[in-house]
Amino acid sequence: MIKTNKRSRLLTLWLLVAVLGLAGCFNPLPGQDVPLEIGDRSTLVDPGVSNFIVPTYQPTAQPGVVIENNSAGSTSLRIENGSGTPVAEVYQGGGSAWSGGATVNNWVAIAAPTAQATGIPAAAISNAGVGAILNLSGSALEYQFDGTTLDLQSNNLEADLNTEHLMFPSVITATVQYTPTSGTVATIADGEVWLIHAVYANVSTNFDCTGDDCDVQIGDGGDADGLLDLDDAELQAADTEGTGAAAGWQGFMSTSTRGAYLANGLGFVYAPSGAAETIDYAVGGTDPAAGTLDVYVVYTRIK
C-alpha cells in the first residue's frame, strides 16, 4: 500500500483545478464570448477550412463574426484570388469594392426570398453624396443616373412593341385576318387614361371578298370605325395611301381612312370609368376568303 500525506493530496487537487481551468479556456460555456484571432496560417488546425458556423445558442441580434475597432488601416476585410490580387474589400468606413473577373455564373447576383416584404425592394441604393447614384458602363455603352436625370451617354433607349409605358409613347399591335371577322385590338383598363395619337394598318395579304366589297373597321362600342375605316381598294398590299407613301400602309395620309376620332388630327382620349373599354376590329364584305393586316395603335398612357 502506498501512503500519501496531506501535502501530496493538496498538490494533486491543485493540479486537477489547473487542468480543469485550461479545459474551460478551450471549451467555453454556452453564450460565453470567445475572441477569434486569425493570424499565421500555420497556427490553424485546418488551414483549408473557411466556414464560420454560428452556434444555435448565439444570442438574438448578435452577428456571427464582428470586426470591430479597426483604426489601424482602411480595409477591414479583404478577399484575394489565387494570385494574391484583391477581388473584394470592405473598408473601414463601411464602403466596399469588387473587382477582378468572373468566368462562372453571375458576377453579382441578388436573389430576394419569397418572404420579401411587400413594397420593400430587393436592393436599394441611398446616396447622400453629390455623385451619381448608379453608373453602368461597359465596352460599348454607359448609363448614369444621378437622381434627377438618366443620362444615356449617347446611347439609345430601346423598347419592345406591346410593352406599355407610363408617360412615354407606347405602340400596341394586333393582327387582323379575314376570319374571325371581329375581335379586340387593345383594352383600356377601368381608370386608365390613354391619349391615342394615331392608328395605322399594314396590309400584308390582299383582302378578297365576292364582289370586291371587303372593308375593315377599327373603333369601339360607341363608333365602330371611329379610328380607322378601310375599304376594299385600301385593303390591297400594293395600294399607296398617297404620293410617296409606303405600299400597304394606311391611316396617315388620307382623311378617308381615318375615323371620326382622329379626323381632327389632334388625337383621341380614352378615359373609361366604371368598366374597361376595348378597341375592336370588324371585317365586312361578302364571303371574305383572304386577307391579313397588322394594326398599330400609337398612344401615351398618362394614368
As a three-state string, the secondary structure of 189-204 is CCCCCEEEEEEEEEEE
Mean pLDDT of 264-276: 96
177-215 b/e (C-beta count within 10 Å ≥ 16 → b): bbeeeeeebbebeeebebbbbbbbbbbeebbbbeeeebb
What number of H helices and E strands is found in the chain?
A: 1, 15
Handedness of CA 213, 214, 219, 221 (dihedral sign): positive
What pLDDT sits at residue 150? Answer: 84
Taking the model in full, what pTM does it have?
A: 0.68
Looking at the structure, do residues 222 and 145 belong to the same domain, yes or no?
Answer: no
Contact criterion met (CB below 8 Å) for 287 and 207: no
**Which residue did the predictor score with more confidence, 55 or 21?**
55
Looking at the structure, do residues 144 and 241 belong to the same domain, yes or no?
Answer: no
Looking at the structure, do residues 296 and 176 belong to the same domain, yes or no?
Answer: yes
Q: Is pLDDT above 90 for 168?
A: yes
Q: The domain containing residue 279 runs over which residues?
A: 169-301
Grid coordinates given for 36: 477569434
Mean pLDDT of 191-197: 98
Distance (Å, whole) CA 245 – CA 235: 15
Looking at the structure, do residues 140 and 261 belong to the same domain, yes or no?
Answer: no
Mean pLDDT of 208-237: 98
Looking at the structure, do residues 188 and 227 belong to the same domain, yes or no?
Answer: yes
Looking at the structure, do residues 179 and 289 belong to the same domain, yes or no?
Answer: yes
Query: Does residue 186 fall inside a structural domain?
Result: yes
What pLDDT sits at residue 40? Answer: 44
Q: What is the mean pLDDT of the chain?
A: 84
For residue range 88-115, list pLDDT tens digits in order: 888 888 888 887 665 666 777 788 888 9
Q: Which residues contact 196 (CB under 8 A, 6 or more apart)?
A: 227, 261, 262, 267, 268, 269, 270, 297, 298, 299
Query: Does residue 289 fall inside a structural domain?
Result: yes
The SS3 of residue 20 is helix
Looking at the structure, do residues 188 and 296 belong to the same domain, yes or no?
Answer: yes
Looking at the structure, do residues 255 and 276 belong to the same domain, yes or no?
Answer: yes
Q: Is pLDDT above 90 for 4?
A: no
Q: Is pLDDT above 60 for 15?
A: no
Domain count, the chain: 2
Looking at the structure, do residues 249 and 212 belong to the same domain, yes or no?
Answer: yes
Contact criterion met (CB below 8 Å) for 163 and 253: no
Grid coordinates given for 183: 375581335
Cis peptide leading into 180, omega within 30 of 0? yes
What pLDDT sits at residue 37? Answer: 46
Looking at the structure, do residues 150 and 268 belong to the same domain, yes or no?
Answer: no
What pLDDT sits at residue 39? Answer: 44
Query: Does residue 36 fall inside a structural domain?
Result: no
Looking at the structure, do residues 222 and 255 belong to the same domain, yes or no?
Answer: yes
28-67 b/e (C-beta count within 10 Å ≥ 16 → b): eeeeeeeeeeeeeeeeeeeeeeeeeeeeeeeeeeeeeeee
Looking at the structure, do residues 141 and 205 belong to the same domain, yes or no?
Answer: no
